[in-house]
Amino acid sequence: MNVPDKHTLLIDHLLELAEDTVLNLTRDRLSAGEDPLEIIEDAQGAMRLVGERYEQGEYFISSMMMAGEIFREVMEIVEPFLVKQMTGNESGHILLGTVQGDIHDIGKNIFETLLRSHGFTVTDLGVDVPPAQFMEEALRLKPDMLAFSGLLTVSYDSMKETIGRIKKLEDQSVARTPLIIGGGMVNAMVCAHVGADYWATDAMVGVQLCKQIIKERK
Ligand code: B12
């Protein structure tokens, strides 16, 4: 009989929405000294499959909500290990939020945790953030970078509107702030369509990009 490996185990149990087992597996893997990012990657892979099952009508929205809740609990367990493992002293202020019409925030929150653990200052505006609020906060805070999260296809319209309005600001120091977008389905085409400068589908890649961009501008 084939024994499933640790990755398959976590993914399968998350797919079965077996909350306690997933949380115990997470704790066990961390106690064994595993890289917390690997656990997040497995859970993220499981969420992709949850999304596919929802799309195919195999799961109801309630299952997607439950999976989201389990992921949030996994993150609660993983976060202290993540912060302990990664300590950086980057300087730079990043204004972040999920764009209007979209309430997905699990990925955004991971990106925020990783940014903070690398030493960045982050202002998180939360979810469903209207373009006007992004603009006002950008003018008030003058961050080094603006970061938008969005998982829905319709959220690309909000990204485009927000970015369009920011680029038209009279205050050039804000209008020229580098912009990065992220979320499971963004790509180079979406980036060009919404007028952003950079994109990432992986939070760690996003952090590396922020490091590089801010360093080059200082
Ligand atoms: C969980 C979930 C939910 C939860 C969200 C809970 C929460 N608090 O976030 C709930 C149940 C609320 C939900 C609701 C809906 N959802 Co939903 N949801 C998902 C699901 C299954 C997982 C998302 C997730 O958390 N993934 C795990 C995280 C870690 O991954 P991630 O978000 O991609 O983030 C990573 C990177 O992208 C990156 N990242 C994220 N943001 C940023 C930002 C920057 C700047 C950077 C650099 C990086 C970065 O970092 C993370 C780690 O690497 C996805 C399936 C999928 N394929 O994503 C569907 C999915 C996104 N949902 C979908 C849909 C349709 C909906 C609903 C419209 C359903 C409905 N009929 O009501 C609503 C929309 C509500 C709204 N207005 O936003 C569709 C979207 C389809 C589309 N093309 O638009 C998907 C793709 C499912 C599917 N395949 O059909 N959903």
Contact 190, 181 (CB under 8 A): yes
Q: Tell whether ligand 1 has an atom less than 6 A from the beta carbon of residue 104.
A: yes
Token pair of 109 as six digits: 């929150």
**Secondary structure E strands in 36-170:** 93-98, 121-124, 145-149
Q: Tell whether ligand 1 has an atom less than 6 A from the beta carbon of residue 64.
A: yes
Q: Tell whether ligand 1 has an atom less than 6 A from the beta carbon of residue 151.
A: yes
> For tokens 């003058």, what's the residue?
142
Distance 14 CA to ligand 1 centre (A): 16
Q: Tell whether ligand 1 has an atom less than 6 A from the beta carbon of residue 119.
A: no
Share of the chain above pLDDT 70, in %: 99
Interval 71-93: pLDDT, tens: 999 999 999 988 777 776 778 99
Nearest CA to 190 among 179, 175, 205?
179
Interval 141-159: pLDDT, tens: 999 999 999 999 999 999 9
Among 22, 103, 104, 134, which residue has the most ligand 1 atoms within 8 Å of its CB, making it the best to mutate?
104
Contact 177, 166 (CB under 8 A): yes
pTM: 0.95
